Amino acid sequence: MSESRPALPSGTVLNGYRLSRQIGSGGFSLIYLAEDEDTFDQVAIKEYFPKRFGTRGPGQAVRPMGPEYRTHFDRGRRLFFQEVKTLATLRHPSIVAVYNCFLTNDTAYSVLNYEPGTSLARFIQNRGGNLSLRFMMTVFPPLLDALELIHGHRHLHLDIKPSNVRLRPGGRPLLLDFGSAYKLSWGEAGEKAKLVTPGFSPPEQYQSGDEIGPWTDVHAVGATMRTCLDGRPPPSAIDRINDPAALAPAVRAYDGRYPRWLLEAIDWAMTLAPLDRPQTASELRDVLLAHGPEVLAEWGDSEASGPPSLRERSDFSDF
């Protein structure tokens, strides 16, 4: 694994957990596979280690690169604890579970449930997009169901994208990285929503005075669905505002290759105007679930039922 930040060596013991190896990384963390020395259970250990302004000091400590980064470093660590606090309130099959959190090495660590799989981003990259209807219907209704729970607890995720979705055996999704999540009073303007991911964040996430809400996460889900078709992220919301032709509607780009109701749902979720989108995750989920197994059979169960991009057989061969 190519990683500019030095990982802790295999065999390191942290608070009763023995690290096996690094298994992932994000902009603000390294992730290790570890074993609980008491129960011998496998867990994932997430270490707060910001890529842009963190460094490994003496004695395995994680510190700011310089005093000018101290404020950013401390704010990021607070967000790290916020993620743990958020996850502790949520229990859902498609939301990663957190077991513990502790401080050592001048930084913070969280202990998460470990489940094997691969990221949706890597899966899309390997397949080049054109994922089947059956794949879409396996992954996205459970994610939207998890989002409904998150929003019901008055939290927003605010960073939904393919790299934050893990695919477990059978394609079962797991939503990761709640570092940007925060508790929201509906009607609050989005001063806190500073983190944006081009292609997935809607316009209101770029403009701090605009109201954010469940519809903000819904846009990101729609953009993630579109990425499954295109094989690449959509243009940013700002590019789409400046050039309406930057992204052809899914109903036009994929006419005849996917059922129209799916394409219309993606376009609806990705509408730039917040009030014109589904206002809740359940609205989008219910549109997807309104179509039964007979539709999947018609569009995705055999080579004769549609073009190769819609065949269920290839999309799950890695699971």
pLDDT at 306: 39
* Predicted confidence pLDDT, tens digits, the chain (319 residues): 445 789 999 999 999 999 999 988 877 889 999 999 999 999 999 999 998 899 998 889 999 999 999 998 998 898 888 878 888 888 899 998 888 899 999 999 999 999 889 999 999 999 999 999 999 999 999 999 999 999 998 888 888 999 999 999 888 999 987 766 555 554 454 444 457 899 999 999 998 778 899 999 999 999 999 999 999 999 999 999 999 999 999 999 999 999 999 999 999 999 999 999 999 999 999 999 997 665 666 665 432 233 333 333 345 444 4
Strand order in the sheet with 29-36: 13-14, 17-26, 29-36, 42-48, 107-113, 98-104
Q: Residue 67 is which amino acid?
A: P
Please answer whether residues 214 and 279 qualify as being in contact, where contact means their C-beta atoms are separated by less than 8 angstroms: yes
pLDDT at 194: 57
How much helix, strand and coil, in percent to the nearest 5, is found in the chain?
Answer: 40, 20, 40
Residue with structure tokens 């059956």? 134
The helix (run of H) or strand (run of E) holding residue 71 is helix 70-88
DSSP letters spanning 257-317: TB-HHHHHHHHHHT-SSGGGS-SSHHHHHHHHHTS-HHHHHHHHSSGGGS-GGG-HHHHTT
How far is it, in rounded angstroms, from Cα 206 to Cα 67?
29
Would you call 54 helix, strand, or coil by DSSP?
strand
pLDDT at 292: 61
Q: What pairs with residue 156 in β-bridges?
A: 182
pLDDT at 309: 39
The helix (run of H) or strand (run of E) holding residue 122 is helix 120-127
Would you call 125 helix, strand, or coil by DSSP?
helix
The structure's pTM equals: 0.83
The helix (run of H) or strand (run of E) holding residue 33 is strand 29-36
pLDDT at 48: 94
Percent of the chain exceeding pLDDT 70 equals 85
pLDDT at 219: 98
| CA count, 13 A, side-chain hemisphere, 211 | 11
pLDDT at 178: 74
| CA count, 13 A, side-chain hemisphere, 98 | 22
Quick one: CA torsion of 282, 284, 290, 291, rounded to 10 degrees? -140
Strand order in the sheet with 173-175: 118-119, 165-167, 173-175
